Amino acid sequence: MSSIIARASHNDALNVNPSNATNRLTVHGSDWLWAVTALYFLAFLILLLHAFTAKHGERVFHYLFGIATFTGGIAYFAMASDLGNVPVATELNNGGDNSVTRQIWYARYINWFVSWAMLDIAVLLLSGVSWATVLFSVGLSWIWVSSWLAGAFVTTTYKWGFFVFGVFAYFVLAFHLSYHGLASARRIGSSKHYTLTTCLLLFVWMLYPIAWGLDEGGNKISVTSGFIFYGILDLITMPILSHFFLVLGRNWDYGALGLQFTQYGRVGRKEGGVFQEKEPAAAAASAPAV
């Protein structure tokens, strides 16, 4: 942490790792990214320390958010250092000069690929849905991020096709969280906190298409302005939301949620682990006719 603060106070990252892109990160933009990096690692350290105070079987959310904030800190460290990017020719707002290039940051998408999956898992664990449902949602988030990553590297109008694929994946994911997740949360009595965290997450996620359209997609704003936009959104979705999630979770009944873990594995829900979407099996099969 101290080395990050020291680098931010004397920022020579752009001189050490120069970029040859036309539209590139500025020193002030790098300063902002160092600040975001420090906040990510601070959030990770707080989560790590808080995990030691939690019960042994109730650390699943600390682990998930710890992975997400650690990954985000590494990604922002790379971007603040002017690494994790390649110059790509711009398709729009280039003044008619097709040689104009812009830095495209693949480190950003690595962060989202890991972090958003952790968010999906966390909120859906709170809802009590099946693991198949969780995996489906994680897959949708990966399609979303991968589509936008592909679109960011396309230098023609075809990039907007990948943008639409990503937005469609977001809407399917949002429906999945809002409908199936909420229905399951109501059955186990966690609907209030599930609705609160999911609505906040989906609202912030809804702003990412705007940021992408202005930044990598439309080339309407500078690289530094794009980082300010994305940085605020990323801070809300991970460091802030993760700690808000854990504050809400102080009074959760992990047994009722089926989230208690021991050295032998996961403990079933207190009501006996009956699948809510199926009728309970008969206590004993009827005897065959003689």
Question: 245: domain CATH number?
Answer: 1.20.1070.10
Is residue 37 in a domain? Answer: yes
Burial class (CB in 10 A: 0-12, 13-18, 19+), 82: buried
State the amino acid at position 124 in one-letter form.
L
Is residue 263 in a domain? Answer: no
Burial class (CB in 10 A: 0-12, 13-18, 19+), 19: middle
In contact, 268 and 261? CB cutoff 8 Å: no
Select from 45, 36, 35, 80 the least CA-distant residue to 65: 45
Per the structure, the complete domain to which residue 47 belongs is given by 2-253
What is the reported pLDDT for 1?
58
Sequence-distant (6+) residues with CB within 8 A of 204 are 233, 236, 237, 241
What is the reported pLDDT for 2?
56
Is residue 277 in a domain? Answer: no
Is residue 226 in a domain? Answer: yes
d(CA 143, CA 46): 31
Is residue 25 in a domain? Answer: yes
Is residue 290 in a domain? Answer: no
What are the C-alpha distances in Å from 190 to residues 77, 195, 236?
Answer: 36, 9, 22
Select from 231, 178, 184, 171 the least CA-distant residue to 200: 178
Neighbours of 248 (CB within 10 A): 17
Residue 174 tokens, joined: 């949002």
Is residue 270 in a domain? Answer: no
Neighbours of 149 (CB within 10 A): 20
Up-side HSE of residue 227: CA atoms within 13 Å toward CB? 29
Tell me the sheet residues that pair with 87. Answer: 103
Burial class (CB in 10 A: 0-12, 13-18, 19+), 119: buried
Per run of 10 residues, the mean pLDDT along the chain (length 290 residues) is: 58 89 92 98 95 82 95 98 94 70 96 97 92 95 98 94 98 95 90 94 97 94 96 97 90 77 52 44 50
Is residue 288 in a domain? Answer: no
What is the reported pLDDT for 272?
44
**Torsion over CA: 209, 83, 10, 111 (sign):** positive
Task: Give the chain's radius of gyration (CA, Å).
Answer: 22
Does the predicted model carry a pTM greater than 0.75?
A: yes
Q: How many domains is the chain partitioned into structurally?
A: 1
d(CA 4, CA 20): 25
Sequence-distant (6+) residues with CB within 8 A of 22 are 87, 90, 99, 100, 101, 102
